[in-house]
Amino acid sequence: MRDIHERLSKIKETITNSSFKEGKGLGNEIGFYIFDYEPKYEMLVREYVYNLKRQIKKENYNVHIKEFDLYDVMLELLDQKGYLQKNFEMEKKKGSRHVFHATEKTLRLTSDKDNKIVNYISQNTEDDDIVFLTGVGKVWPIIRSHTVLNNLHRVLDHVPVVLFFPGTYDGGSLRLFNEVKDDNYYRAFQLVDKY
């Protein structure tokens, strides 16, 4: 089994290969990918993603990475709607569970057509981007990664999407933190094999 450092080192080679953006080898469809990792490596993966974006930009590859930290996107959208401060106050009075449900409703997280997170990602993605989705662990349990991926498939079919997932993806289901089973998700490929 490859260790985390070996797997991380393969990401740059994978995403800068011209066939990655063209979907070659995947039935010629643009791919959705998952890079899963042990949750204890969260800070290492965050640092790697940050450095990879800088390195690719500096080395002038024909690749543009657009990162969406789901937690930051959620906060930005709540702030734009004037709900962020209200959520803080609501949490003090009614507890976290109430805030989770209110946020889910405000951002229409269960909607197939008007999910605010999915719309934000779609509207802020250019045709030459490779989308990196991060912040999965920070935003749980409010936002579920399988919901984002399922909804993105309908609106973002022209660019590759990579989900950085602190847990396990077995090709059929996601297990956040290696403990919380998310719903099944079958349409993503491993970005870098573990073996």
22 occurs within a structural domain: no
Alpha carbon distance 190, 98 (integer Å):
35
Alpha carbon distance 66, 124 (integer Å):
9
152 occurs within a structural domain: yes
Cβ(153)–Cβ(183) under 8 Å?
no
Structure tokens at 148: 């984002």
21 occurs within a structural domain: no
pLDDT (tens digit per residue) in 46-92: 999 999 999 998 887 788 999 999 999 999 999 998 888 888 888 88
Q: How far is CA 123 from CA 24, 40, 65, 117, 145, in A?
A: 25, 33, 15, 10, 19
Count up the domains in the chain and report the number: 1
Residues of the chain with pLDDT under 70: 23-30, 182-186
42 occurs within a structural domain: yes
20 occurs within a structural domain: no
Cβ(23)–Cβ(29) under 8 Å?
yes
pLDDT at 75: 95
DSSP H stretches of helix in the chain: 4-16, 18-22, 42-58, 70-80, 84-94, 96-106, 116-123, 136-139, 145-155
Cβ(116)–Cβ(107) under 8 Å?
yes
Range(s) of the domain holding residue 139: 4-15+29-190
Which pTM was predicted?
A: 0.92
132 occurs within a structural domain: yes
pLDDT at 29: 57
108 occurs within a structural domain: yes
Cβ(117)–Cβ(143) under 8 Å?
yes
- Amino acid at the residue 173: S
107 occurs within a structural domain: yes
